[in-house]
Structure 1
């Protein structure tokens, strides 16, 4: 499955997890943290995620932590530049 996420919606921890839960159709019991994200991603069938507007994300944006977890979970992430 392929998803498209907007980096601008994932600058803070709270915003990122709300966006991820909605856009990736994560379960209701999703824990809104990076460990829970990793667990959910590893349970999903082959997943590809395109992240738009990443160039505009600041170096302290939470989206970078999310991307690291996605990559650790084996998710193909595009538009990292």
Structure 2
């Protein structure tokens, strides 16, 4: 029961909602850049491909860092909520 309440509170947190929107935008942009890269290579526009590769690499790093932070943050937030709720219920 407590775990379900904690999950509900965490899911409704505004920061989590914003993070989810940003994550979706990043994933969408990554797919667009990868499609552009594929088109550039197929068209043998290697200058364009060379411009896109660092952008893709940077965006992937951003997504990976955000994912790691979200996973770590979720654990900390869940623990903090558990402690706070346990304190209130005592």
Q: Provide the TM-score with structure 1 as the length reference.
A: 0.23
Q: Which of these two proteins has the greater Rg computed from alpha carbons? A: 2
* Structure with the higher fraction of residues in helix conformation: 2
* Structure with the higher fraction of residues in strand conformation: 1
- Which is bigger in relative contact order (C-alpha 8 A, separation at least 6)? 1
